[in-house]
């Protein structure tokens, strides 16, 4: 997420030194992070947590880390609304300038839990609005973009958003 967010600024010819102390919000759409099936990334209660377990399992750290590393002073806002997280993050990014990023990394224990719950397709294919539908499929990805206010409206290339 950090690399992708910074790449979005570079694509706009904005360098890190020019971003420091700027009022830029960071809105990140992501899903709950759970390493190794437990809060501390271990499967036994006897194991000691590592130095990184607390921050690695917190969705709020992602937006805060990007803001901290780039020296941004706007709001940091993680969005965990499952499959709609990136859309909701874009919808909420209404400040003067915002970095919007979304990432999805599949974690094996969540995949197993969703399989047991019958949420995932047995065929590995989505058949939306079809009688063959038997669940959904998951995928990984990361996207980052910068949106800037233009007369009270987010840049013209975002035609509209809707969230229910």
pLDDT digits (tens, 9 = 90+) for 11-66: 888 888 888 998 888 888 877 665 544 544 455 556 677 777 777 777 788 889 99
Give the total number of structural domains in the chain: 2
Shared-domain flag, residues 100 and 133: no
Shared-domain flag, residues 34 and 87: yes
Q: Which two tokens stand for residue 102?
A: 């979304």
Shared-domain flag, residues 126 and 149: no
In a domain, 130, yes or no: yes
Shared-domain flag, residues 97 and 111: no
Shared-domain flag, residues 19 and 65: yes
Shared-domain flag, residues 58 and 120: no
Model confidence at 159, pLDDT cuts 50, 70, 90, reads: low
Asked if pLDDT for residue 139 goes beyond 60, the answer is yes
Shared-domain flag, residues 60 and 110: no
* 115-126 tens-digit pLDDT: 899 999 999 888
Task: Give the pLDDT score at 32.
Answer: 63
Shared-domain flag, residues 68 and 118: no
Mean pLDDT of 131-135: 93
In a domain, 160, yes or no: no
In a domain, 161, yes or no: no
Mode of pairing for the β-strands spanning 25-29 and 97-104: parallel
**DSSP count for the chain of H helices, then E strands:** 6, 5
Shared-domain flag, residues 69 and 132: no
Region at 109 (left for phi over 0; alpha for psi -120 to 50; beta for the rest): alpha
Task: Give the pLDDT score at 117.
Answer: 93
Compute the distance between CA of residue 134 and CA of residue 121 in angstroms, rounded to an integer. 5
Task: Give the pLDDT score at 67.
Answer: 92
Hey, is 75 helix, strand or coil?
Answer: coil
DSSP 134: -
In a domain, 128, yes or no: yes
Count CA atoms closer than 13 A to 160's CA, side-chain side. Answer: 2
Phi, then psi, of 120 in degrees rounded to 5: -95, 150
Asked if pLDDT for residue 71 goes beyond 90, the answer is yes
Domain that holds residue 32: 2-40+51-105+140-154
In a domain, 45, yes or no: no
Beta-strand ranges (E) seen in 124-164 are 141-150, 153-154
Mean pLDDT of 64-70: 92
In a domain, 163, yes or no: no
CATH of the domain at 24: 3.40.47.10
Higher-confidence residue of 87 and 46: namely 87
Asked if pLDDT for residue 89 goes beyond 60, the answer is yes
Shared-domain flag, residues 122 and 69: no
């Amino acid at each position: 997420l950090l690399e992708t967010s910074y790449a979005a600024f570079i694509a706009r010819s904005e360098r890190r030194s020019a971003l420091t102390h700027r009022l830029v919000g960071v809105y990140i759409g992501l899903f709950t992070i759970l390493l190794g099936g437990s809060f501390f990334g271990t499967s036994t209660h006897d194991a000691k947590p590592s130095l990184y377990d607390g921050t690695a399992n917190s969705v709020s750290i992602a937006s805060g880390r990007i803001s901290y590393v780039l020296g941004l002073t706007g709001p940091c806002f993680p969005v965990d609304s499952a499959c709609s997280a990136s859309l909701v993050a874009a919808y909420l990014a209404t400040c003067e300038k915002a970095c919007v990023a979304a990432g999805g990394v599949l974690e094996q224990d969540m995949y197993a839990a969703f399989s047991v719950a019958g949420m995932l397709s047995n065929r590995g294919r989505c058949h939306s609005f079809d009688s063959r539908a038997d669940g959904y499929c998951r995928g990984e990805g990361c996207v980052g973009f910068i949106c800037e206010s233009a007369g009270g409206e987010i840049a013209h290339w975002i035609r509209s958003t809707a969230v229910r």
